[in-house]
């Protein structure tokens, strides 16, 4: 009897030892071994989203290595990136031991470093491997785009227009098919977010094809929120506070005081469509500024110097602020330019009106 008990105890000890050597699934450990990033460089994990998300976590590189630890209630798609630099590596953050490794090089992008992080390998995460596989369609579309661009050199305007139409139709149908192939789980809505820069009414039909389980998932709710936002024309916009160059706080209420209509303009120095719209805004400000029209420009530039340089070049005659208080997040700005036209009470009367559409709306309001 004693011999049998001894054997059982020994077996139990061996089992315990085996279990202790297995990575715990109670949380995640993400370890990085990356050559090419200087020591003390900040690396971050940012949620995959169409919005300007804050980092989930942040750490610094020491001897080319870093470690993130934590616990996820459910898997999340994230971007591994370097703070204040371009480039990222997507992966799924799940409760397992994940390793990111490789060598990166930096190039200069108008004074900001850009790292080819997308070349890094990710191991230990089955969901990350699946994410990469599903997202491979985007690389296929990138290749088609390069081929189309090459054909442009000796093409007529009509041929270019036809090539553009065919290309965008192919992208739309390919992305739609990819989403539809995963319509029964969170992968479907996650791909809707991952494959696009933003969602519009054209993707509402995609959302309708998702299963109830997919719609109820975290990413299903994110997609619904973007496709069917609560704040629409006729509703009150959120109040906010910004800081002027002297550090003085300025409220939206004070900016619309004494005004009939205010255009809240989210832009950036690097945004070509934003810069191209400025002459139109100046003309409209000249026409209606004395009649109660105000423009409030809020830049999402990361670097104050770049914003100040653009202001010097553009000479904007209305209030301008750098978004240091996350107003763009409050307004769920997904892209720039984004514009909201409000009345004296802060009620939305027009959204993303630009060019002639904005001119026509102001003419209607001030007639």
Torsion of CA 255, 258, 264, 269, to 10 degrees: -60
Compute the distance between CA of residue 122 and CA of residue 132 in angstroms, rounded to an integer: 10
What average pLDDT does range 61-76 have in this prediction? Answer: 95
d(CA 231, CA 349): 11
Closest to 333 measured CA to CA, from 219, 231, 205:
231
> What is the pLDDT averaged over residues 181-204?
94
Please write the tens of the pLDDT for every residue from 75-124. Answer: 999 999 999 899 999 999 999 999 999 999 999 987 889 999 999 999 99
Secondary structure of 71-140 in HEC code, one letter for each residue: CCCCCEEEEEEECCCECEEEEEECCCEEEEEEECCEEEECCEEEECHHHCEEECCHHHHHHHHHHHHHHH
The yes-or-no verdict on residue 200 having pLDDT over 50 is yes
CA distance 180 to 201: 17
pLDDT at 225: 87
Query: Does the pLDDT of residue 1 top 50, yes or no?
Result: no
DSSP run (H or E) holding 146: helix 126-151
DSSP designation for 302: S
**Residue 347 phi, psi (nearest 5):** -90, 135
The stretch 3-30 carries a mean pLDDT of: 50
Cβ(273)–Cβ(337) below 8 Å: yes
pLDDT for residue 161: 83
pLDDT category of residue 52 using cuts at 50, 70 and 90: confident
Percentage of the chain modeled with pLDDT above 90: 68
Model confidence band, residue 9 (pLDDT cutoffs 50, 70, 90): very low
- Whether 165 shows a pLDDT value over 80: the answer reads yes
Give the list of residues 6+ apart from residue 359 with CB closer than 8 angstroms, or none.
280, 283, 284
pLDDT-based confidence at 21, cuts 50/70/90? very low
Long-range contacts of 247-251 (CB under 8 A, 24+ apart): 250/319, 250/321
Percent of the chain with pLDDT over 70: 93
Distances from the Cα of 355 to the Cα of 280, 284, 298, 299, 314, angstroms = 6, 10, 19, 19, 18
pLDDT of res. 234: 85
CB 275 within 8 A of CB 337: no
Residue 25 has pLDDT above 80, yes or no: no
Task: Give pLDDT, residue 7.
Answer: 39
Residue 31: what pLDDT?
97
Q: Provide the b/e sequence for 167-194 (b: ≥16 CB within 10 Å).
A: beeebeebbbebbeebbeebbbbbbbbb
Q: Which domains does the chain have, with CATH numbers?
A: 28-124 (2.60.40.1120), 129-227 (no CATH), 241-366 (3.40.30.10)
What pLDDT was estimated at residue 230? Answer: 65
């Amino acid at each position: 009897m004693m011999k049998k008990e001894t054997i059982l105890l020994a077996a139990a000890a061996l089992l315990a030892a085996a279990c202790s050597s297995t990575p715990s699934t109670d949380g995640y450990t993400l370890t990085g071994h990356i050559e090419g990033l200087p020591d003390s460089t900040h690396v971050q994990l940012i949620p995959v989203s169409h919005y300007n998300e804050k980092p989930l976590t942040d750490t610094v590189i020491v001897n080319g290595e870093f470690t993130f630890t934590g616990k996820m209630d459910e898997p999340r798609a994230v971007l591994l990136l370097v703070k204040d630099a371009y480039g990222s590596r997507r992966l799924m953050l799940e409760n397992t031991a994940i390793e990111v490794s490789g060598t990166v090089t930096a190039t200069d992008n108008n004074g900001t470093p850009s790292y080819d992080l997308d070349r890094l390998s990710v191991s230990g995460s089955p969901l990350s491997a699946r994410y990469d596989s599903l997202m491979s369609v985007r690389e296929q579309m990138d290749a088609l785009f390069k081929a189309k661009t090459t054909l442009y050199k000796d093409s007529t305007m009509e041929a270019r227009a036809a090539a553009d139409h065919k290309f965008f139709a192919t992208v739309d149908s390919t992305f739609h098919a990819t989403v539809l192939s995963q319509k029964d789980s969170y992968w479907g809505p996650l791909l809707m977010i991952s494959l696009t820069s933003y969602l519009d009414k054209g993707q509402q039909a995609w959302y309708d094809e998702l299963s109830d389980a997919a719609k109820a998932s975290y990413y299903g709710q994110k997609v619904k929120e973007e496709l069917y936002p609560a704040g629409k024309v006729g509703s009150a916009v959120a109040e906010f506070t910004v800081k002027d160059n002297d550090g003085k706080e300025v409220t939206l209420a004070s900016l619309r005081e004494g005004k009939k209509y205010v255009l809240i303009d989210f832009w950036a120095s690097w945004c070509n469509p934003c810069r191209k719209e400025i002459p139109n805004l100046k003309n409209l400000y000249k026409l209606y500024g004395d009649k109660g029209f105000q423009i409030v420009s809020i830049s999402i530039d990361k670097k104050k110097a770049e914003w100040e340089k653009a202001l010097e070049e553009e000479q904007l005659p209305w209030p301008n602020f750098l978004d240091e208080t996350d107003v763009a997040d409050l307004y769920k700005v997904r892209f720039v330019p984004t514009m909201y036209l409000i009345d004296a009470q802060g009620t939305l009367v027009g959204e993303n009106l630009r060019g002639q559409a904005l001119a026509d709306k102001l003419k209607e309001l001030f007639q």
